[in-house]
Amino acid sequence: MTDTALPNEGNRPESEVAELRRIWARPRGWRIISDVNNTTVGMFYMGTALMFFILAGVLALVIRAQLAMPGNDLVSQDLFNQLFTMHGTTMMFLFAVPAMEALGVLLLPQMLAARDLPFPRLGAFAVWAYVIGGTVFFSTILYDLAPDGGWFMYTPLTLIEFSPGDNADFWLLGIGFIEISAIAGAIEIIVGVLKTRPPGMSLARMPIFAWAMLIFAAMIVFAFPAVILATMLLEIDRAFGWPFFTARMGGDPLLWQHLFWFFGHPEVYIIFLPAAGLVSMIVSTMARRPLVGHDLIVVALIGTGFFSFGLWVHHMFTTGIPSLSLAFFSAASMAVAIPSGIQVFSWIATIAAAKGRLRINTPSLFVLGAIFIFTMGGVTGVMVALVPVDFQVHDTYFVVAHLHYVLMGGMVFPLFATFYFWAPMVSRNQLSERLGRWVFWLMFAGFHIAFLPMHLTGLRGMPRRVWTYSDDVGWNWLNLVSTVGAFILAAGVLLFIVDLARRFRPMLAGGGAGNDNPWGAPTLEWLPNDVYTTRSIPLVTSREPLWDQPDLAREVQEGRHFLPNSATGERETLVTSPVEGKPQYIIRMPGPGYAHVVAAAGTAGFFLLLTVKLVVPAAICGVMAIIGCLVWTWGLDKQGDKGLVEIGAGLKVPSYMSGPASHTWWAMVVLMLVAGSLYLAYVFSYLYLWVVSPEVWPPHAVAPPSGEWTLSVAGLALASAGLTWWAGRLLPPSGQRSGLVVVVLGLAALALMASFGLNIQAQWQTGLRPTDSAYGALVFMASVLDGQVVIAQLILFGVAMARMLCGRLDRVRRVGYENCTLLCYYTVGQMLLGLLLVHGFPRVAG
Amino acid sequence: MKDHPPSITRTLLFLLWGPIVWGVQFTLSYGGHTLLCAQGASPVASQWGLAGLALLALIAIAPVAFRSGAVAARLGVLPTGGEGGFVVLVARLAAILSLIAVPWTAAGALMLQACIQGR
């Protein structure tokens, strides 16, 4: 196969298009909620994120109205606490990250000319869990039940002694599970970017947005587990009195800050990087030339992704930590300006290289505004990275100004540029250029009027989160100006909503959007689109295919590229090799269904009902979620290896794949990375509390269990892994069943359960209790974390055994077994590491 | 088509080598120095340890920064079709960025006393 020959030279029958439309047809009416197509799911996702943006914006207006004048009592102090907590929480957790994931779901398949992302139901599950859970969580503000401890919920304020009631629990359980939804989306995006690119799209030819989304999703995998662990620890502390954060029992409130900011600072870049990817693409298109320094931008994205994990302590400079630690984090906080600056200079260079050919329209205005605002936020960021400056302005309105400059410039303005730029891809109409310019100028002016004075308000000493202030401290006019600005900004957003209502008409019924490539953009999402994405999957030969392959749109539409039909008669897309983009196999994908909706509703119900201590209904929802997941996954791993199927260019690829080349294997590996990150955050917590309070550790506390216990637990865990491996050797030939495999897998499950139970018993019989001290709490927390993966593993054992009994598992059709094996090895590995830490470390350290 | 396409794991490792080494150096520097201080070790030992760690990190990154083509060839991560230049260039630039980050991170150890509170 060469890069220039078309995969299909002859004319293709028109019936193929009708067949594709039939296979990919969207459900009509209310059944649309069962749809899993990325365009539908992406629009639900984005629509919900936008709704939360508006709701959180309304809360901000109430906050600003309260602060407009001194001594104001428009809202009560308690409600004010809830308002700023919900504003921050909603903007960060319910708007910013979901909006970026929504763009990934919506844009990536089109940009990569894939028919869909590799796990359509997982994406839909993530969306529905977020929609249901987010809506219920936000509604707590209406019932005086909203959390009120600030968006970062610092301990000890949020411990049960100081924050009784359910308000804090709503945050902890609600956010914890919305993070799970975000992780599900991240897995989908990582596998999608690496595996479902079109033929010829090597890493070098990948669009910048795809690079940004890949790094964004990888950061979620490593950052979010820290906050999930933190929310677990605090919820367990509140509910059961395990003293992770109580200083007098060996805990430490600063542990919360470490875990929260290990997530919280990368979170800023998690939001910024996809937006930077979008800006790069819009700048290049509007400047009508390739991006200057494309490769440097990729390096900058990688560098920013890494460096952002070395900054978290700069949120804690005033907590009293050693000077040298301050120096490490101060240095890293300044260093991250280099990769961020590379991107900004690359955009400026691209605009400059256009030599006056830059088109000035609404998307480019928003991009220019974003660059301006983000740069200002970056400069104040370097200021607060300096320890002495941070000591002065910590927890003042200066920081409020800084973070809004970074987030509005780094995410909100690029997002609005995106709305105007990519709307024609999914809507019959473009948004109004005339109104768009009004929207931009209102937002741009309103933003600066609102937030520029806050630098001064902060330098004059106004602390964050105060409900009101006295008349004589010199903050009056600054606050009034900020409030006026906030309302001007809101007027801009309101005008945008009007424009959206008037012009945006989504193409849910199929058929191409009304405006094929109105900007003359170079990337594949602007190929003629339909419900199945593109008629054929293009052979890509450059980084800007629509500029360098002028006939590509016509060729793709005529079916002259890969997979111009449905090779298997089902929903499918092409998988290519991750580095070179060479065709490997096709994925057969699921269509619409309700199981994932039930699973999402059950998951949301489980967490939210647990918050208000309705244990039985919560348990019912939990069971419902598990059943939903089982029904959903039972239909996957379809049989019928349909053998090799022709995709064009004389190439025949498999229609079924197992092992390390398969997309499911990759998804499991990413899931294991998530679980591993969570466990490493636990290991950090264990060692951190030991450093802080060695006096509650052995030899001052109960000694760990004897070596016999340790060896027995380890032996049973290893036996489980060994039996699982052996079951793989016993898998029968295709089409046959094996009772022995069921027995062996059953024994593996029993060994794992026994190992887990014995481990708890080993600690319990020493007399140690989780409520004794932070040491006891951490010892039993290891079992809680083991319990999570053990339960998941037992379900996978059960599924594998059931599949074997039903003739759905054999030597060829083995994905179900492989998933079970991978997680089993991980589970055993985690348990062994836990034994080393919890049984072994106190002996050495003591 | 080559028999063995480049492994994505090795390619990612090669691409990210510089930042990974920096990440390890940063983690060990922060964690190690905190631990040594908490255990009452000599501040001088802590400072020498940090300097040594930085030196090791620079040595580990250098091959990818200065002989990236040879390292890529050795790892077998060069794609076919003239696309290898991108992978090599990105790995090299990321490594050079990390070569700056490593001494920048460690610089504090030479200028500040370890184990004292900042305020």
Work out the average pLDDT over B6-11. 87
In angstroms, the CA B90 to CA A553 distance is 31
Inform me whether the C-beta atom of residue B95 falls under 8 Å from chain A C-beta atoms: no
Residue A786 · residue A845 · CB < 8 Å: no
A756-814: per-residue pLDDT in tens? 999 999 999 999 999 999 999 999 999 999 999 999 999 999 999 999 999 999 998 89
Q: Does residue A194 have a pLDDT over 50?
A: yes
At A68, give phi and psi (nearest 5°). -60, -35
Sign for the pseudo-dihedral over CA of B70, B74, B80, B86? negative
Among candidates A34, A46, A803, A13, which has minimal Cα distance to A416?
A: A46
Interface-testing mutation among B7, B30, B47, with chain A (most A C-beta atoms within 10 A)? B30
Nearest CA in chain A to B35: A691
Chain A closest CA to B114's CA: distance in Å? 6
Angle at A307 between CA A301 and CA A310, to 5 degrees: 155
Rounded Cα gap, residues A516 and A528, in angstroms: 6
Q: What is the DSSP letter of A839?
A: I
Short-list A600, A630, A664, A706, CA closest to A819: A664
A721, A825 Cβ separation under 8 angstroms: yes
User: Which amino acid, one-letter code, is at A143?
Assistant: Y
What is the band of B114 on the pLDDT scale with cuts at 50, 70, 90?
A: confident
Residue appearing with tokens 């105060």:
A466
Q: Is the dihedral of CA A140, A141, A146, A151 positive or negative?
A: positive
pLDDT at A641: 63
Which chain B residue shows the shortest CA-CA distance from A293?
B90
What is the length of chain A? 846
Please state the separation of Cα A250 from the chain's center in Å: 33
DSSP labels, A86-130: HHHHIIIIIIIHHHHHHHHHHHHHHHTT-SS-S-HHHHHHHHHHH
Tell me whether B62 touches chain A (CB under 8 Å).
no
Q: For residues A180-186, give the mean pLDDT.
A: 90
Cis ω for the linkage preceding A732 (within 30 of 0):
no
Whether A324 sits inside 8 A of B83 (CB atoms) is no
CB atoms A204 and B34 under 8 Å? no
Query: What is the mean pLDDT of the segment spanning A669-694?
Result: 95
Q: Do A770 and A811 touch, CB atoms closer than 8 A?
A: no
Distance CA(A680)–CA(A696), nearest Å, equals: 22
Q: What is the pLDDT of residue A284?
A: 96
Q: b/e string for A741-751 if b means 16 or more Cβ within 10 A?
A: bbebbebbbbb
At B41 the pLDDT is: 79
**Hey, what are B62's tokens?**
């250098």
Looking up tokens 């340890």 gives B49
| Two tokens, residue B26 | 């940063």
Q: Choose between A398 and A509: higher pLDDT.
A: A398
pLDDT tens readout for residues A489-509: 999 999 999 999 999 988 765
| CA distance to A177, A240, A778, A836, per residue, from A775 (Å) | 27, 15, 5, 15
Instruction: Note whether B33 contacts A325, CB cutoff 8 Å.
Output: yes
A9-26 pLDDT per residue, tens: 878 888 999 999 999 999
Nearest to A322 among B11, B79, B118 (CB): B118
| Residue from A267, A197, A189, A171 nearest A226 by CA | A267
Contact A174, A608 (CB under 8 A): yes
Instruction: Give the DSSP per-residue string, B52-70.
Output: HHHHHHHHHHHHHHHSHHH
Q: List Cβ neighbours of A515 (8 Å cut-off, separation of 6 or more).
A: A424, A429, A430
C-alpha dihedral, A43 to A46 to A51 to A57, nearest 10°: -160
Tell me the residue type at A526. W
Determine the Cα–Cα distance for residues B64 and B57; give it in Å rounded to an integer: 12
Say yes or no for a CB contact (<8 Å) between B26 and A321. no
- Pairs across A and B, CB distance < 8 A: 134
CB atoms within 10 A of CB A285: 23
Q: Which chain B positions have a beta carbon within 8 Å of A687's beta carbon?
A: 31
B/e letters for A343-363, b = 16+ CB within 10 Å, e = fewer, are bbbbbebbbeebeeebeebbb
Instruction: Select from B79, B89, B109 the Cβ nearest to the Cβ of A580.
Output: B79
3-state DSSP assignment of residue A718: helix
Asked if the C-beta of B81 comes within 8 angstroms of chain A's C-beta atoms, the answer is yes
State the pLDDT at residue A515. Answer: 60
Residue A332 has pLDDT above 90, yes or no: no
Residue A412 confidence (pLDDT) above 90: yes
Q: Which residues of A touch B116 (CB under 8 A)?
A: 322-323
Least confident of A253-257, B41-45, B87-91: B41-45
Q: Where are the alpha helices (DSSP H) in A574-640?
A: 595-611, 615-634
As a whole number, the mean pLDDT across chain A is 93
Chain-chain contact of A298 with B90 (C-beta, under 8 angstroms): yes
Q: Of residues A830 and A339, which shows the higher confidence score? A: A830
Q: Report the C-alpha gap between A441 and A451 in whole angstroms.
A: 15
**How far apart, in whole angstroms, are the C-alpha atoms of residue A237 and residue A239?**
6
Q: What is the pLDDT of residue B107?
A: 86
Q: Which stretches does DSSP call E strand in A489-536?
A: none
Is residue A796 within 8 A of residue A762, CB to CB? The reply is no
The region that residue A47 occupies, defined by phi over 0 for left and psi between -120 and 50 for alpha, beta otherwise, is alpha
Q: How many CB atoms lie within 10 A of CB A644?
A: 13
User: Percent of chain A, pLDDT > 90?
Assistant: 80
Q: Over 50: is that where the pLDDT of B2 sits?
A: no
d(Cα A302, Cα A304) in Å, to the nearest integer?
6
Which of A221, A255, A306 to mutate to test binding with chain B, by most B CBs within 10 Å of its CB? A306
Burial of A161 from C-beta contacts in 10 A (0-12 / 13-18 / 19+)? exposed
Q: What is the pLDDT of residue A837?
A: 96
Backbone angles phi, psi at A71, to 5 degrees: 65, 20
The residue type of A827 is T
Q: What is the CA radius of gyration of chain A?
A: 27
Using pLDDT thresholds of 50, 70 and 90, give the confidence band for residue A3.
Answer: very low
Residues in chain A within 8 Å Cβ distance of B72: none
Task: Return d(Cα A719, Cα A477) in angstroms, integer.
Answer: 71
Burial of A142 (0-12, 13-18, 19+ CB in 10 A): exposed
Q: Where are the alpha helices (DSSP H) in A460-505?
A: 476-503
Give the integer Cα–Cα distance in Å for B92 and B96: 6
- Comparison of pLDDT for B7 and A36, the residue scoring more: A36
Tokens standing for residue A68: 């407009």
Q: Is the preceding peptide bond at A660 cis, omega within 30 degrees of 0?
A: no
Q: CA angle at residue A786 from A782 to A792, to 5 degrees?
A: 155
Q: For residue A47, give the nearest of A92, A93, A88, A98 by alpha carbon.
A: A98
Q: pLDDT for A593-651, tens place per residue?
A: 999 999 999 998 998 888 888 999 999 999 999 999 999 888 888 766 678 899 988 89
List beta partners, residue A588.
A572
Could you tell me what percent of chain A has a pLDDT over 70?
A: 98
Write the residue in A194, A302, A387 that is nearest to B8 by C-beta.
A194
pLDDT in the model for residue B1? 41
**CA Rg value for chain B:** 18
pLDDT of B80: 65
Backbone angles phi, psi at A707, to 5 degrees: -60, -30
Mean pLDDT is lowest, of A509-513, A556-560, A803-807, for A509-513
Residue by residue, DSSP assigns A637-699 as S-S----EEEEETTEEEES---GGGSHHHHHHHHHHHHHHHHHHHHHHHHHHHHHH-GGGSTT
Residues A430-443 have pLDDT tens digits of: 999 999 999 999 99
What's the CA gap between A822 and A403, in Å, rounded?
41
Q: Which of A221, A261, A262, A299 to mutate to test the interface with B (most CBs of B within 10 A)?
A: A299
B89 interfacial to chain A (CB closer than 8 Å)? yes
Average pLDDT over residues A83-97: 95
Positive or negative, the CA dihedral A722, A725, A730, A736 is positive
Instruction: Determine phi and psi for A457, rounding to 5 degrees.
Output: -55, -40
Residue B59: Cβ within 10 Å count: 10
Question: Distance between CA A58 and CA A799 in Å, rounded?
Answer: 47
Q: How many CA atoms lie within 13 A of A353 on its CB side?
A: 15
> Are the CB atoms for A775 and A250 separated by under 8 Å?
yes
Q: For residue A588, count other CB atoms closer than 10 A to its CB.
A: 20
Is the predicted pLDDT of residue A313 greater than 90, yes or no? no
Interface test with A, best of B10, B86, B116 (most A CBs within 10 A): B86
CA count, 13 A, side-chain hemisphere, A475: 27
